[in-house]
Amino acid sequence: MAKNDVESQAESIKSANQITGFQLFSMTTSMVMTVYGFAAFAKQGPTALFYLFMAGILWFIPVTKVAGEMASIDGWSKGGIFTWSRNMLGEKTGWAALFYQWVHITVGMNTMMYFIIGCLSITLGLPIMNNNAVVKFILMMVILWGLIIAQQRGTKVTGRIAQWCFTLGVIIPVFFLLGIFILYLAQGNPMLIDINFHSILPRNWSGGVLVGFVPFMLAFAGAEGSAPHVKDLKNPRVYPKVMLALAIAAIASDIVGSMAIAGTIPNEDIELSTGIVHAYGALVDKFGISVVIVEKLTGLLLAVGVLGEISSWVVGPNAGMFEAAKSGFLPPKFSKANKYGVETNIMILQGIVVSIMGALLTFGAGGSKANLSFQTAMSLTVALYTLMYMLLFISYLVLQIKHSDLKRPYLASKSKVMRLIYGCLGFVLSAFGFVVTFFPPSDMASDSQRTYLILLLIGFVIVFFIPFILYRYHKQWADELGLPAEQTARKGNYAPEGNRKTAKK
């Protein structure tokens, strides 16, 4: 092929993949903004505002800036955390980071399914769906495996469905909640919580209280998934503005959702998987609107929204694992796709892991303890995800200290000191979130606290060692795939040839 033809093809590919800042904002928003955490935020009362500041400003912004810079390095745009950690910390660590990122959503899907079932139990008027362990687990399996089967003919149609689900089930309900909450306050109705400087701060600094920070980290997790698209932006300099806009939008929606629930429903009556639905009912009741109809309708819309989110997560993280499988990190059968290009075996593996975790959390906590299983699932999700984030920030610090000469068009800050601060701040808050996860909430009954801790520890220990066990077979699987030796021998501190240039501001 002639040189001009090659250049023309490269330019055509670049043009086809180029996106605007608004398009990046839309893509990332669909991954980050959710509604199933609103009730968990509301449980914290006014302290939710303090945690939102910590998670949304002190943690979320470093995550996006760090991920954006590493994704913009030549040769690092594909693979995400797997590429970044492997190149800075070694192959085994990169694989572990990818595995924790992938497996966290297999736990998180249970949280989402609990929310869907809770909403549908209100819509259909069948509390048994949310309170009976057997019924709940059967419904979870129908949702999970139904979505996996739906993905087997390709993701184009299901991707469109996910976008519509997000619009119908997240955007519309959130704006409706904002409208009626403002109207509720404008009419002089009282708030059930008192918001002031002292009430915003945690009542004490014990682990049982600070564990309330856990759902707030989860609310902002996932933004690093869009970082590889920094290079696709028409103007990479708009990336920090896009992420700042995302932080503002996410924090605003979380404040509206959590305060609407906390201000209208007594704290002891807030159900984690159904709280937001009852908040709609409590608000419209003041205006003479049928509570039953509104709760049933919003329950259905919210369930549809989170269903679409699960659909997106079924596809997204599996792409990274599929690439890892093709590099010999999983048995060869997982490196194969079906005739539609769908990584069926990876999806089945994910479904099995989700099912096992779902059984452990649902039957371990008991169907009559919906809050306990929801809280445990959320905490285990954060424990696994913060492990990945700690590796992310360590990789970034190694990049700044040892490989600051690698070429990249985007820098988290022009000041190296500020970049180091971003890395350290992100690592410290990730480690903080990881540690407090293992403290049972102080308002839990003593028997529930024991169950919570046992389930959390069992789930975490099992998952923690899996990537290292699998890595022992990496060379064997790579040989079976016929991969060249140099492709399996990377030990870290790697940069593409010719990339040792001064970074562009």
Instruction: List pLDDT tens digits, range 119-146.
Output: 899 899 898 998 888 999 999 999 999 9
pLDDT at 308 over 90: no
Look at 175-179, 224-228, 268-272, 277-281 and tell me which has the smallest mean pLDDT.
224-228
Q: How far apart are CA 240 and CA 372, in angstroms?
A: 38
Contacts of residue 425, Cβ cutoff 8 Å, sequence gap at least 6? 58, 59, 62
Domains of the chain: 37-488 (1.20.1740.10)
Contact between 95 and 325 (Cβ < 8 Å): no
Q: Residue 75 carries which side chain, given as an amino acid letter?
A: G
Q: Is the dihedral of CA 6, 80, 225, 317 positive or negative?
A: positive
pLDDT digits (tens, 9 = 90+) for 471-503: 999 999 999 988 875 554 454 445 544 455 444
pLDDT digits (tens, 9 = 90+) for 370-385: 567 767 777 888 888 8
Among 373, 188, 193, 376, which Cα is nearest to 279's? 193
Task: Look at residue 195 in the predicted model and tell me its pLDDT.
Answer: 86
Q: What is the mean pLDDT of residues 193-208?
A: 83
Task: Look at residue 16 in the predicted model and tell me its pLDDT.
Answer: 45
Q: How far apart are CA 207 and CA 441, in angstroms?
A: 8
The three-class DSSP label of residue 406 is strand
pLDDT band at 162 (very low <50, low <70, confident <90, very high): low
pLDDT band at 8 (very low <50, low <70, confident <90, very high): low
Task: Look at residue 372 in the predicted model and tell me its pLDDT.
Answer: 76
The three-class DSSP label of residue 390 is helix
Among 350, 370, 334, which Cα is nearest to 101's? 350
pLDDT band at 179 (very low <50, low <70, confident <90, very high): confident
The three-class DSSP label of residue 19 is strand
Among 120, 164, 124, which Cα is nearest to 143's? 120
Give CA separation, 316 vs 25, 226, 342, 346, 389, in Å: 17, 11, 12, 12, 18
HEC profile for 103-170?
HHHHHHHHHHHHHHHHHHHHHCCCCHHHHCHHHHHHHHHHHHHHHHHHCCCCCHHHHHHHHHHHHHHH
Tell me the longest C-alpha to C-alpha distance in the chain.
73
pLDDT digits (tens, 9 = 90+) for 437-477: 888 877 778 888 888 888 889 888 988 999 999 999 999 99
Task: Look at residue 161 in the predicted model and tell me its pLDDT.
Answer: 65
Q: How far apart are CA 331 and CA 345, in angstroms?
A: 10
Q: What is the mean pLDDT of residues 270-276?
A: 74
Among 156, 134, 117, which Cα is nearest to 307's? 117
Q: How far apart are CA 241 and CA 236, in angstroms?
A: 10
Q: What is the mean pLDDT of residues 183-200?
A: 85
Contact between 184 and 283 (Cβ < 8 Å): yes
Provide the terminal-to-terminal Cα distance of the chain, rounded to the nearest Å. Answer: 35
Q: Which two tokens stand for residue 168?
A: 């119908």
Task: Look at residue 228 in the predicted model and tell me its pLDDT.
Answer: 59
Sole residue written with tokens 């509604």:
35
The three-class DSSP label of residue 494 is coil
